Chains A and B, each alone.
Chain A
Amino acid sequence: MKNKIIKKSGFTLIEIVVSISLFVAIMLITGSMFSLAQKSYNKSSDLAELTQNGRVCLDRLSRELRQSVSIITELPLTDDQSPNQIFFQDGHDISQITYLRYYLNNNELKREHKAYFFEDAPLIYVVYNSIDQNDNPPQEIILEDYTVGEYFNQLKFWGSNDLINISLELIKNTNIFAIKTSAFVRN
């Protein structure tokens, strides 16, 4: 009688070993699927983010360059030794002389909007390299300075003062996005 009860309930060692090993195998496969899905999601979202950042910044930059009245930065003809910033006169509102500068600061693309004035007439903005009657340069006032895009690794400008080639490269977690275009200054 006692023997019968023991045989009826419970599992043998082999059954337990087999069921545990099956459980472990399923868990391993599910776990690796999960981590693969996670990695793939991260990579996809990084690539999409880089593409988005690159496009937004390049569109904005090229539109403002096209509008510009004059490009002040001296640009080389080829892309070696090209500057990683550009300084130009804003052509959006021509009632006042203001300037824009795009530059890189620790992987961020920044846009600085500034103007120059003489102390005796602070509301009248003047040309950046003008001098007053005592040969003094004007004061600088920063109207805006903010980040336009993140993950920038390289920014290059070259060409002539009519046609500006722009090349940018963005990096996030080993994913790279590089893009190139040019802007013809129409104003």
Chain B
Amino acid sequence: MLKNNFNSKGFSLIEIMIAFLILVIAFIGLIQAFPFSQIMIKTAENSSKASYLAQDKIEQLLSLGYDNIPVGAIETKQRLSASSTDYLYFFQRQTIVDYIDSDLQVSASSTDMKKISTTVYYTNNVSKTEKSYNISTIISQR
């Protein structure tokens, strides 16, 4: 009677240890969500930086005026800073200027419209792949 009573209530040590193990596994899953969310924020941050850096090049070209904007690959894809301690090192930029016709199609010959297309490349920290941010603008002969 005494033995029976003792066995039927409470948990055995083994049961507790198994429950504990399941809890730890669940916690590990949760813990991994935090660095992931920070990486997501970092990627969003890089995406905003990339948009400003693309805008940066467009403004530089627009300031030259229509006639002085060279046509062709103005900037081949390259890092914006040579020093790896600078945040700009992690951004690469490429800029292409083309003549376009009235249907906004690229034209080989000279027209009165130029299209500036800037692409900034940065690393997506989640998938470790390269992402890009592209903006284009059209400038015409005044």
Chain A contact residues, CB within 8 Å of chain B = 4, 7-8, 18, 22, 25-26, 29, 33, 36-37, 40, 43-44, 47-48, 51, 55, 58, 162-163, 165, 177-185
Contact = CB atoms under 8 A, between A and B. Distances in A.
B56 A182 contact: yes
B7 interface: no
A8 B2 CA distance: 7
B55 to A, nearest CB: 5
Contact of B52 (A18, A22, A33, A181): A181
Given A4-B2, A33-B31, A181 B55 contact: yes
Interface residues of B, number: 30
Given A51-B45, A163-B60, A179-B48, A33 B27 contact: yes
B87 to A, nearest CB: 5
B97 to A, nearest CB: 16
Contacts of A185: 63
A180 B88 contact: yes
Interface in B61-83: 62-63
Most chain A CB neighbours (cut-off 10 Å) among B30, B35, B87:
B87
Given A181-B52, A181-B59, A47 B2 contact: no
Contacts of A33: 27, 30-31
A129 B74 CA distance: 41
Interface of B: 2, 5, 13, 16, 20, 23-24, 27, 30-31, 34-35, 37-38, 41-42, 44-45, 48-49, 52-53, 55-56, 59-60, 62-63, 87-88
Contacts of B63: 162-163, 184-185
Chief secondary structure at chain B's binding surface: helix
Binding site of A, secondary structure by majority: helix, strand, loop or mixed?
A: helix
Contact of B34 (A8, A37, A163): A37
Given A36-B31, A37-B34, A51-B44, A182 B60 contact: yes
Contact of B41 (A4, A47, A165): A47
A182 B87 contact: no
